[in-house]
Every structure is written in structure tokens, then in C-alpha cells.
Structure 1
Amino acid sequence: MTAGFQAFTDTGLVQIDGTTQNYALRQRFDVATSVGSINAGRSNAGVQYMFNANVVIFTVSAVKPLIALYSPNAYVTILQCSNNKNGSWTVKLWANTATTITVYVFDQASAAAPSGPGYGLQVFDANGVLVFDARQRIARVIDTQSGNINNAGPGWGQWAHIDQRMYSWSYPSVRKIGVASIGTAFISSPTGGSNNGWYNISSLQTAGNVVNFNYAYYQVGNTSHPNNDVNFGSQFDWRFMAIDLSNL
């Protein structure tokens, strides 16, 4: 920026400026996963196959949502976050078991402006649009992590099948951590049609200030274990953003 307000952290990182929208908490609620279906793949003939899995679908009102999850009792991930073009978004979550997940919906500061009187610092851009309000509970980013299960490039290829990868990160500077901006590694094979086959999926568990990652194999119905995976290497990509939920 050439002019306007800037605030820096003690390490020199720009925390607030006069041009960038901050993300503020707009809504918090719990959802419960139960038996539903996930996309298992489509045949060359156009047949869509589905697998039973623990899922939940919900809709939120937002301009550009950042969905953060807190799940101490199960591994979860985001399968879908689609714009309904009417000020709402539909979100679909997967879990490795039936569980309750706490959902935090952050949105641009201008879309989550507090109502009523208050006090504190406000920052606006050159067009008069609110980009920060001290009354808002801001999404504080602690870390970002990303990777590829097979260290594969994005193109089509064949790789030895991996049943499981597990990682863990601890964030002692906070009391409670959530995960957002999730990219899910996912491959599947409906070897016998709907509800028969297998899939691998990456998911995250957050408990206190620890994030656990699990990329795991799931068998559906009566199917043989795969030896190789033939798919695009980009399907092994995963990522997440760690958000401080301590005071939210």
C-alpha cells in the first residue's frame, strides 16, 4: 500500500492494513454427522457411484466464508463448500465416525460488522469499506501446512497404494486450535458399483492445541485390497490452516 493505516506484529509481520479484508467470526454452531453418501466416481458410461459414509450437510450465510472446524472426538474434513449465488454457501463435512463437530464461520470484516454502539479502532479502505473492527473476533492464523501423500506431480500416473499416513502438530502458544482452508486428499474406486469398493481420504482431528492428520484407507462392501493407485497426482494434495480458537 502507498498510504493508510498499517499495524505490525512484534516480528515485523503486517497484521492490519488499509487495503486487506480481515476475517471475523460471524457464526458458531455444532453439527452432527450421520450415515449419508459421498461421491465414489463416475464410469466412462456416465454412471455415478456413491459410497455410504458419515457426513453432514449445512448452509451458511456469508460473502466469502472461511470455515473452521473443531473436532476432538473424530477425524473430519471438508468435502464441499459451494456458492449458491444467493448469499449462502452449502458445506459438506465427512467424518470417520458419527460425531459432533463445532463449526466456526468467519467472513470478511465488512460482511460481519457488529451492530449497535461500541468502541475501539476501525479501519476502512480507500472506498470507505470496513476492513477491520476491534469489536470483531478475528480469525488469527497460527500456521499453514500442506503436502502430497506420494510426493507426486499433478499429472496422471500410477503409484504404490498407501494405506495410512499420520502426522501431528502442537501449538503451545494457544489453548484451542481449529483447522480451516482445508484441502482434502481423496482417491476412490467403486470396484463393484455403489456401496462396494474403497477410498482413501485425508482428515484432521483437533483437540486442545494439537492437530492430528490421518490419511487412511476405507473399505466399503466386499472388495479386494488395491496394490496400485492410478489417478492424477494432484488427488494426493492436502493442506490446512491452523486458526486460534482460544477466545472464541
Structure 2
Amino acid sequence: MQIDGTTPNYALRQSLTVTTGAGSINVGRSNAGSMYTFTANVANFTITAVAPLVALYSPNAYAAITRCRNNNDGTWSVQVWTDVAANVSVYIFDRSSAAAPSGPGYGLQVFSESGELVFDARQRIARILDNQSGNIMGAGPGWGQWNQVDTRTYAFGPYAGVSKVGVAAIGAAFVASPTGGTNHGWYNISGLQTSGNAVNFLYQYYQNGTPSHPGNNTCFGSQYDWRFMAIDLSNI
């Protein structure tokens, strides 16, 4: 956490629990403009925020954020995906000025030169514990062909002195092929399971219908990129 009168901190604006269930995810658009979708476990919801940082706590499933779209009216449309139907705790952090607490209180406040609130001691600040990123295949950004990988796992933590860790700024590795159109084909996606003070990573193969198992993938290497930020949720 940095308090310097210039850098806005991110403070908790809202928390909620969503339940994922059968819905659809976008997996590819054809040259003719048709969007193909697959059935998957998702939750779609809308939040109010200026510049949201969405953190997830998901001990019972691997989760990813597949959409966080600005509706240009002060709201954002969010989609959370999980590998199995599950409840996921969602924490919405926003710039300190957008999440300012109402009513009287006490404690330190810091403002920028322009008068924007950048820190308020009454707020629950998003304390960053770690940043992790990688590429499933160690690939560069260009077009290429790679052998199919069905499963890849990593583990991060446990983070010392922390009882509960969430994941935010999630970038999921995602490779898909709608081989027979809507609800027929396969996809690989990375998800994150958070349990206590540890984070588990799973990149996994999923299928809709009865497609042929892929032997290799022709795609952009950047589709294998993944990332996340670990956030301390211990006292939130």
C-alpha cells in the first residue's frame, strides 16, 4: 500500500455472493459474424463503480472472470466462470474517492493536489500480497501451433500472516474451438481456487457435445497468457 498524495488507493465498495449455474460463454465468432457459445457454469451480474478491481474468494471451485465490461453509465457487467457450480464471494474495490464512506468518523485522510481523496483510514484498503503471471506453453504473442495440454496446475502461498486471500486482476488463459458450432466443441481455461491463505491454479480441458479430442492447437501464443493479483481479505 502506497500513500503519497498522488497514487489513488483502492478501497472496498461492495461485497456480494454469486452462485454459478448453467449459462453460456462466448468461444468464438465466425468470419460470417456468428458468435458461438458453450454451456458452462457462470454467474452474470452488474456492479456500480468508477474503475473496479474485482476480487474473488472461491474455496469450492476454480474460478475466473471472463467479462468485466464498462456499460458507460457508471455500471459494469461482470461474468464469473467456475469449473463446477458453486458459490463465489465477490469483493468490489474502487478508487478511494469513489468508495468514500459516508457520515462522521475519524482517522487520516490524504488528498491529491487536485483535491481527490486518495486514502481514508476508515476504508478497507485492497492490500496487494503478490502478482503472478505466466504462459501455459512459454509461447510468445505470435501465431503458431502447439501441442494440446489438457491439464496444468500450480500452487501459490501460503501467504504468511494472512488468513484469507482473494484473487483480482485475473487474466485467464483461454483456447477454444467450436468444432460443430454452438454447444459442440472444446475449450481450455485457467481458473483459480482460493482457500484460506493459499491459491491453487488449474488449466483444464472441457468439452461440449462429442468433439474429437485435439492433438494440437493453432492459435495466438498470447491466448496461453495468465495472470492474477493476490489481495489480503483477512479483515474484510
Amino acid at match of 1:62: A
Question: Could you tell me how far 1:87 is from its partner in structure 2?
Answer: 0.7
Question: Could you tell me how far 1:155 is from its partner in structure 2?
Answer: 0.8
Pairing partner for 1:26 from 2, 5, 13: 13
Question: Which of the two has higher C-alpha Rg?
Answer: 1
- Output the CA distance in 2 between the equivalents of 1:222 and 1:216: 17
Give the aligned partner of residue 160 of structure 2: 172
Structure 1 vs Structure 2: percent identity of aligned residues? 66
- Output the CA distance in 2 between the equivalents of 1:24 and 1:45: 44
SS of residue matched to 1:15: coil
SS of residue matched to 2:97: helix
Question: Could you tell me how far 1:15 is from its partner in structure 2?
Answer: 2.2
> Could you state the TM-score of these two structures normalised by the residue count of structure 1?
0.93
Pairing partner for 1:91 from 61, 78, 97: 78
- Output the CA distance in 2 between the equivalents of 1:35 and 1:227: 28
Post-superposition Cα deviations, 1:37-57, rounded to whole Å, max 9, x if no partner, equal 011212222222110000011
Which runs of 5 or more residues in structure 1 are unaligned?
1-13
Output the aligned Cα RMSD: 0.8
Amino acid at match of 1:201: I
Post-superposition Cα deviations, 1:166-212, rounded to whole Å, max 9, x if no partner, equal 00111122000000000011010011111111000000000000100
- Output the CA distance in 2 between the equivalents of 1:228 and 1:46: 25
> Could you state the TM-score of these two structures normalised by the residue count of structure 2?
0.98
Post-superposition Cα deviations, 1:64-86, rounded to whole Å, max 9, x if no partner, equal 00000000000000000010111
Give the aligned partner of residue 133 of structure 1: 120
Pairing partner for 2:62 from 64, 70, 75: 75
Give the aligned partner of residue 210 of structure 2: 222
- Output the CA distance in 2 between the equivalents of 1:200 and 1:209: 26
- Output the CA distance in 2 between the equivalents of 1:189 and 1:65: 31
Mapping for residues 92-111 of structure 1, pairs under 5 Å: 92-111=79-98
Structure 1 residue 40 corresponds to structure 2 residue 22: no
Mapping for residues 151-190 of structure 1, pairs under 5 Å: 151-170=138-157, 171-190=159-178
Give the aligned partner of residue 106 of structure 2: 119
- Output the CA distance in 2 between the equivalents of 1:135 and 1:227: 54
Is the 2:2–2:9 contact (alpha carbons within 8 Å) kept by the matching residues of 1? no
